[in-house]
Structure 1
Amino acid sequence: MAEIKLIALDLDGTLLNENKDLSEENLWALKECIARGIYIVPATGRTVYGIPEPVKNIPGVRYAITINGGKVVDMEENNIISSSLMTPEQTIEIMEMAEKYPVMYDAYVEGRGVSEARFMNHLDDYGLSEGVQKIIKSTRQIYPNIIEEIRKGGRMVDKMCIFFTDKKLREEIRQLLNKRGDVLVSSSMGNNLEINGLGATKGGGLLNLAAHLGLSREETMAFGDGENDITMIKQAGLGVAMGNAAPFLKEIADYITVSNEEDGVAAAIRKFVLK
């Protein structure tokens, strides 16, 4: 196995525990890697602004794969290394379709979440955990009408999300979106869909960043637990699934560590990197 020089880490369900906290054991492992010159890279469906401060503020954490690979960013220089975004027209079409169903939707524009009061005041209706609700409330800007805001702004959209109370409806809308052929659909929770522009995958983001840093695929390691981590686990030189990961991710991983509640990230880093 090649020497690992870059480690990409999904956050929710992977690096963070169920309370959305970074454990001391995982923090120690990340700092030890950085001290050895290894790049530690958050790889998340969130924007840069949604990366928790305890992770983003670790000295040496400079790069991030955000919005499911839609943007790879240099946080120190505030530069975008690669991007695959949605057009305003695509986003508005999907939102107007979503309006026909009992769902909640929002979007991210230039790293900021945009939502409406009619959604934010009813987060409990969508079975969102207290931790997820806290993240949503802290990362959304409220507008009277999201569609009109996007139409008026005319800016490219990072990604959009749709939240459901009905899993059957979730699959129905997923099929409708897949038939479009101009967006990528994934999920990070059992009750949501995340819609990105074509080319936006964590795996693609990982390879783009590795190329930017002059590294080979074999020198990368990635951790994940869910559907939006599939491409990253496949593309990495060493793909690690968490003990709490979905069965389909465990099937394609090179290694399965213990769960996020048992510091699975630190355990695998000790085994393969800090040996």
Structure 2
Amino acid sequence: MQHSEIRLLVLDIDGTIAGKSNHIREPVLETIAAAQKRGVQVAIATGRMYRSALRFHQAVGSTLPLIAYQGAWIQDPMTQQILRRWSVPRAQLSELLDYFEQPKLRELLSIHFYIDDDLYVRAMTPETITYVERSGITPIVVGDLRSTLQMETTKVLALSDDIALIDSLLGSLQKQYTPAELYLTKSVATFFEATNPAANKGAAVKYLAEELLNLKPENVMAIGDNFNDLEMIQYAGIGIAMGNAPEAVQQIAQWVAPPVEVDGAAIALEKFLL
């Protein structure tokens, strides 16, 4: 592959350009800036809320629309225009809530609904508190999430520190719903996520590249670290997984970068773009 053909670099945030510190470290920022000097445009694609991702978008100096909520929400921070916004189908939303509220699950899971770039929760659980500290978002505590079912929900997140529980949740819901009904994924081992079936980072990056920038897959490089990055890594001409990515994600990537805590994204950019 001619690395000179790369015109668009798409970066995930958590586990890719931001590690435990929740900030992008200097070596990563420097290599991103060097790539931009060579004419490569940079975009952020994250499962995060739009307003939680905005500071990272600004930190890398992106001039492109920001891909948030796994691609269910794409907004241009320059013009504030929302280019894509898909919500979880209402029937599935209600069913998911029923599923999570089964007596055996209810006490084990923290449930987040994302509505209009706000976070709605049933209660402030320890997992929610940790999430809130990292995302910088103040949640709206409603007691009963059924009260929100008439609103358009962009994403549903179920959190638990029990990784096996999240895996079994994903497994059983993938049997219940086809990819045409819901997009189901994990963004970290403790996060189960559901969005509209049309929303995933691969579809979002394709839209950005082909519809907005008139590029082809071979002009795109994407770096990610988890299952929600699979489609984007597969789409890109150069698809890179982080060293901290699960084995299945590493296997579909063309190259595996060192982990986030040793600035693996910077090393990937040095190798492929600089």
| TM-score bin, normalised by smaller chain | 0.7 to 0.9
- Report deviation, 1:57: 4.4
1:216/1:36 CA distance change after superposition, 3 Å: same
Candidates 118, 121, 145, aligned match of 1:115: 121
* Superimposed CA distance per residue, residues 171-225 of structure 1 (whole angstroms, 9 cap, x where no aligned partner): 4432442213311110112222101110211111110110121111110000011
Do the aligned partners of 1:82 and 1:208 also contact (CA within 8 Å) in 2? no
1:50 aligned counterpart, secondary structure: helix
- Report deviation, 1:87: 2.8
- Report deviation, 1:96: 2.4
Residue of structure 2 equivalent to 1:207: 206
* Superimposed CA distance per residue, residues 137-194 of structure 1 (whole angstroms, 9 cap, x where no aligned partner): 625222243220x23xx33211101112444443443244221331111011222210
1:33-182 matches, within 5 Å, as 33-51=35-53, 53-100=55-102, 101=105, 102=107, 103-116=109-122, 118=123, 120=124, 122-123=125-126, 126=127, 130=130, 132-136=131-135, 138-148=137-147, 150-151=148-149, 154-178=150-174, 179-181=176-178, 182=181
Do the aligned partners of 1:258 and 1:264 also contact (CA within 8 Å) in 2? yes
> Which segment is superposed worse, 100-109 or 32-41?
32-41
- List alignment gaps of at least 5 residues for structure 2: none
Letter in 2 for 1:26: V
Supply the distance in 2 between the matched residues of 1:165 and 1:259 (Cα, whole angstroms).
22
Do the aligned partners of 1:87 and 1:155 also contact (CA within 8 Å) in 2? no
Supply the distance in 2 between the matched residues of 1:59 and 1:190 (Cα, whole angstroms).
29
1:193-272 matches, within 5 Å, as 193-211=192-210, 212-272=212-272
Tell me the C-alpha RMSD between the 2 structures.
2.1
Supply the distance in 2 between the matched residues of 1:17 and 1:163 (Cα, whole angstroms).
19
Do the aligned partners of 1:162 and 1:192 also contact (CA within 8 Å) in 2? yes
Do the aligned partners of 2:12 and 2:46 also contact (CA within 8 Å) in 1? yes
What is the TM-score with the length of structure 1 in the denominator?
A: 0.87
- List alignment gaps of at least 5 residues for structure 1: none
1:19-38 matches, within 5 Å, as 19-38=21-40
1:36/1:137 CA distance change after superposition, 3 Å: closer
Percent identical pairs in the alignment equals 25
Do the aligned partners of 1:49 and 1:139 also contact (CA within 8 Å) in 2? no
Supply the distance in 2 between the matched residues of 1:54 and 1:174 (Cα, whole angstroms).
29
What is the TM-score with the length of structure 2 in the denominator?
A: 0.88
1:138/1:65 CA distance change after superposition, 3 Å: same
Supply the distance in 2 between the matched residues of 1:141 and 1:57 (Cα, whole angstroms).
27
Supply the distance in 2 between the matched residues of 1:250 and 1:37 (Cα, whole angstroms).
28
2:20 aligned counterpart, secondary structure: coil
1:257/1:37 CA distance change after superposition, 3 Å: same
- Report deviation, 1:94: 1.1
Letter in 1 for 2:253: A
1:5/1:109 CA distance change after superposition, 3 Å: same
Residue of structure 1 equivalent to 2:7: 5
Do the aligned partners of 2:52 and 2:135 also contact (CA within 8 Å) in 1? no
Letter in 1 for 2:52: G
1:264/1:136 CA distance change after superposition, 3 Å: closer
Supply the distance in 2 between the matched residues of 1:187 and 1:139 (Cα, whole angstroms).
23
1:221/1:20 CA distance change after superposition, 3 Å: same
